[in-house]
Structure 1
Amino acid sequence: MNAPNLPLRADTGALLDEVLALRAEVVAGAQPWMKRFMRDAGAPQPALANLAHYLAFRRHDHRSLQRQLMWRGISSLGRLESRVLPTLDAVIAALSALTGRASPITPPAEHDYFDGEARLRKATDALFGPPPAGRRERIMVTLPSAAAGDPDFILDLAQRGMDVARINCAHDDATAWRAMTGHIRKAGETVGRRITVLMDIAGPKIRTEAVLALDKKAKLAAGGALRLVAHGTPRVTADVPFAAAVSLPELVTRLSIGDRFRYDDGKLEGTVESTGEGEAVIRITRAKAHGIKLKPEKGINLPDTALGLSPLTAKDHDDLVTVAECADMLGYSFVSQAEDIDLLEGFLAEHCVNRPADFPLGLVAKIERPEAVKNLPDLIARAVSRRPFGVMIARGDLAAEIGFERLAEMQEEILWICEAAAVPAIWATQVLEGLVKTGIPSRGEMTDAAMAGRAECVMLNKGPAIGTAVDLLDGLLKRMDAHAFKKTPTLRALKSW
């Protein structure tokens, strides 16, 4: 070798040693996770092993290493979610070749390198059914109450590209849900593909009930005060001119001074200023410029408060029997820890025993609270061995819980964890919301919908222009599929120049 190349070879040899040490560290760091997952899932599973390796890998900052690999034309490790050890092994083999040393690690075969992607495809098909022609992602649509009496509406959505119909069990009743499900099955027969059904149980949603304002025309604004009452009629005073009862009164007694309060998906924020017998006063710290009208039936989020609530309510117990009868998937609201999976499984085993063996009920965990994010690996390990499983990034409640400024990074991290574990993810809440409601999308909505293509399913909410939104999303996702897969750009020919 020419003398000028000797320093480069030496530097590359040191880099090889660094990657070898990193691999050993990842394997060792994954062992506690592996033991933890095996307690939940029983026998080791390749997807959970890869998740354990990913969690160990992401404990440290690898940005300097990435740049050293990048300029040598070697994988920068930035796309290894589904294949942690295969990626490290491929990098080790490439660095060994550059240094002229025999690789101490056997490089992965092509099949082994891409096996994580195959696992994710299989899990996605098991949960949602086969993919539509020309599109990897599924499109989910939340049905309005009127769909129970309008089979043509559901057929139209299926013809436009709906793959999954979502029924929100917080609304309507078992009779309406059975009618909707019947229409969905017939629509699937007509279009020649199975349209699957997600039924989303309500869970312990905290909402305002009766509300009162000293001045009925007034709006809550920054600096104002709101009284929450646990029992009785809301009362207002000159210094606290707004008041509301809540759907779960015991929560008022669990509030502490300084706890954060968010109303209506974060449209208004405040902190607990004082507490008293069966009530608490909230000082508003942020709101829209001209304030917000206080209304009943609006959601409340309390991200700092230990709620101590079961994710299954008495209503959910009643609804689950119909869900098991009608649905392909169950949407589990407010799940926060692995024990919540056991709670649900115990109820299903006891009360929902007539499920056809060839169509197991899938489970979708809705990630809505900080505890669910923190416990996501354990939730996955507890659930994946029992039935088809997926995760919904419920961006409305999640943003209200963790803060809007953290939502973008958190949805990315959830996508990465799910990909590492071969768990399909649903990108939900306010996708193309302006288009669905008014027929005209915003520029930001279009970008958000395009980014949603990194999930396995994208959810649209109900609205007057939902058919147009399905059309647009179907075409957009098909085009974006040709440009990117997850975090990996794909080099489709460009035709603009």
Structure 2
Amino acid sequence: MNSQDFRAEALEASALLDKVTALRAAILEAAEPLVTRFSIDGDAVDPASVNLAHYLCLRHHDIRPLQRRLMRLGLSSLGRLEGRVLPTLDAVLVALAALAGREKPVTMPSEADFFYGEARLEQASRNLFGSEPENRRTRIMVTLPSEAADGPDFVLDLARSGLDVARINCAHDGPDAWRAMAAFTRAAAEATGRDIAVLMDIAGPKIRTAAVALPDKKARLEVGDRIRLVASGKPRTCDEVVYSAGVSLPEMVTRLSVGDRVRYDDGKLEAVVETVADGEAVVRVERTKARGSKLKSEKGINLPDTPLGLSPLTDKDETDLATVIECADIIGYSFVSRPEDIDLLDTILERHGMMGRPLGLIAKIEQPEAVRNLPALINRARRRGPFGVMIARGDLAAEIGFERLAEMQEEILWICEAASVPAVWATQVLEDLVREGIPTRGEMTDAAMAARAECVMLNKGPAVLQAVQLLDRLLARMDEHMLKKTPTLRALKSW
């Protein structure tokens, strides 16, 4: 490089040094009130919460032009700083100062400081799920079917194949079955010499169809068809509206307004409210599958436009929590949306005499309000003990729309990493393999991308054992290629 080129590079480095310095100062200033809000009764703020505040403030800036200029100088593009916002900026500033021939404006972070976020996230994952498997970073969670309560072999086979977290869905079965599943999970953990956590997922106010009325058993809903939803009593049809359904929660009908969207069966059908009456609403189908959709009972309903004001804990949940406290390591909390929802759960646990035992908590992020409040939820929940976030992609997609799900699941992963909070990648992972024994190309790619989370959830199905075995191998291989957003360049052998 001749002297003219050297001077040009030094000038560019100097200009970038000023820009990054200004960016760092802006982040610190903007984060100060957020850090104060994250403090509890004047206590010192958790360093992970401070980093989260810095990350949120950074992401209010569009730094794409700055990133390209940094990359050209062979420096960090700042595209991988979720767990280490200030350490990354400081490392870049030290390098820019050296290139510009100027004094360092900050101290170079130590290796321990630079990778503190990663270490904190690993420890948080161990606190929540138990020790890591030998061959991979990401844990495997499996929803146990009813037959898992019939004997020890089912869970033992899962454990030998790679099970790390046994999920018991409290929307199904009952306390005796849950106790048996938990006991068989404990026995399988002891037999295999591995940590296997028991997660019990309380149901929450899940909105579902109840009894349905159809023009005939083979009828399928098409675009333009109308459905009468009834808050109570039997479904009612007429010549103009030949489909009708009851619902599990009357508020779902009584709080609808004309124009509100109604999504059915994880978004497989979308309708819009056409008319409302006393205890009834008629919706018109706007979108569905090419061959139509069947109206069935016990299918989920999502209302992305309708504020229901429901508590995330039902009377059933309060009753179920007694068994959860007895059997579980982790509570799965459905429909949690606000920090006050965490307080509500803790109040009920305290009523059960539970607050002394370190019971982990996983908040299921299913609604737009939960996404908006995620930083506040994290800050509130981390005070109470081991905590994680489940990206409940089925309900979330039905709430925000399928086209927004891809970006939203990425953003939730980033926020969780910035806060050193374990994330669970859930809903329809390897679904065809679990149900039919053969995976699709798309779901294999989805499962590979799930390696960026700390845990991946599989649903129940006839081939779930095969799915666990495949996922165990896949996640182990992906660990050699990728850590969160960072490619790890192991030696390639294909060429």
**Superposition map of 1:145-184 within 5 A:** 145-184=146-185
Structure 1 residues without counterparts, runs of 5 or longer: none
Instruction: Look up the match of 1:210.
Output: 211
What is the Cα deviation at residue 438 of structure 1? 0.9
Contact 1:324 1:352 in 2 (8 A): no
**Whole-Å Cα distance in 1 between the matches of residues 201 and 343 of structure 2?**
18
Report the CA distance between 1:251 and its aligned residue: 2.0
Give the letter for the 2:213 counterpart. L
Determine the C-alpha separation between the residues in 1 that align with 2:220 and 2:99. 68
Separation of aligned partners in 2, 1:304 and 1:454 = 31
Q: Tell which deviates more after alignment, 72-81 or 247-256.
A: 247-256
Query: Could you say which residue in structure 2 is the equivalent of 1:436?
Result: 434
The AA in structure 2 aligned to 1:321 is: A
Residue pair 1:40, 1:381 contacting (<8 A) in 2 also: no
CA distance in 2, matches of 1:489, 1:468: 28
Change (3 A) 1:262 1:83: same
Q: Secondary structure at the match of 1:496?
A: coil
1:77-135 CA-to-partner distances (Å, cap 9, x unmatched) read 00000000000000000000000101111110111000000000000000000001021
User: Are 1:24 and 2:22 counterparts?
Assistant: no
TM-score normalised per structure 2 = 0.98
State the distance in 2 between where 1:5 and 1:191 align.
62
Query: What pairs up with 1:33-52 in 2 under 5 angstroms?
Result: 33-39=34-40, 42-52=43-53
Instruction: Say whether the 8 Å CA contact 2:159–2:189 is kept in structure 1.
Output: yes
Contact 1:81/1:419 (<8 A) preserved: yes
Distance 1:76 1:296, change over 3 A: same
1:140–1:460 contact (8 Å) kept in structure 2: yes
- Cα distance in 2, alignment partners of residues 369 and 2 from structure 1: 58
1:71 alignment counterpart: 72
Same amino acid, percent of matched pairs? 67
| Aligned residue number for residue 130 of structure 1 | 131
Note if contact 1:201-1:331 (Cα within 8 Å) is conserved in structure 2: yes
- Do the aligned residues in 1 keep the contact of 2:186 with 2:196 (CA within 8 Å)? yes
Q: In the alignment, is the contact (CA less than 8 A) between 2:76 and 2:92 conserved in 1?
A: yes
Aligned to 1:99: 100
Residue 39 of structure 1 and its aligned partner are, at CA, apart by 3.7
For 2:188 and 2:316, locate their aligned partners in 1 and report how far apart those are by CA, in whole Å: 29
Structure 2 unaligned residues grouped into runs of 5+ = none
One-letter code aligned to 1:365: A
Q: Tell me, in whole angstroms, the C-alpha distance in 1 between the residues paired with 2:169 and 2:145.
A: 9
Normalising to structure 1: TM-score of the pair? 0.98
User: Is it true that 1:412 corresponds to 2:410 in the alignment?
Assistant: yes
Q: CA deviation at 1:349?
A: 1.1
Q: Secondary structure at the match of 2:317?
A: helix
Partner Cα separation in structure 2 for residue 392 and residue 303 of structure 1: 19
Report the RMSD for the aligned CA atoms in angstroms.
1.2
User: CA distance change for structure 1 residues 164 and 118 in 2, over 3 Å: closer, same or farther?
Assistant: same
User: In 1, Cα distance between the equivalents of 2:228 and 2:200?
Assistant: 35
What is the alpha-carbon distance in structure 1 between the residues aligned to residue 289 and residue 167 of structure 2?
31
User: What whole-Å deviation, never above 9, does each CA across 1:156-209 have from its counterpart, x for those lacking one?
Assistant: 000011011000000011111111111011111100112110000000000000
Residue aligned with 1:218, SS: coil
**Which aligned runs of 4 or more in structure 1 are off by greater than 6 angstroms?**
none
The 8 Å contact of residues 93 and 103 in structure 1, kept in 2 or not, is answered as yes
Deviates most, 451-460 or 189-198: 189-198
Q: State the one-letter code of the partner of 2:56.
A: L
Q: How does 1:53-452 map to 2 (within 5 A)?
A: 53-353=54-354, 357=357, 360-452=358-450
Contact preservation (8 Å) 1:329, 1:361: yes
**Aligned-partner residue type, residue 479 of structure 1:** R
Alignment-mate amino acid for residue 372 of structure 1: A
Give the deviation of 1:42 after TM superposition: 4.2
- Does the CA-based 8 Å contact 2:429-2:446 persist in structure 1? yes
SS across alignment from 1:379? helix
Distance 1:217 1:175 in 2: 37
Q: Distance in 1 between matches of 2:143 and 2:90?
A: 44
Is 1:320–1:352's contact at 8 Å kept on the other side of the alignment? no
Q: Say which SS state the counterpart of residue 210 (structure 1) adopts.
A: strand
Distance 1:392 1:444 in 2: 21
Taking a change above 3 Å as real, the CA distance of residues 40 and 312 of structure 1, as seen in their structure-2 partners, is: farther
Q: Does 1:487 align with 2:485?
A: yes
Return the alpha-carbon distance in structure 2 between the equivalents of residues 144 and 431 of structure 1: 16
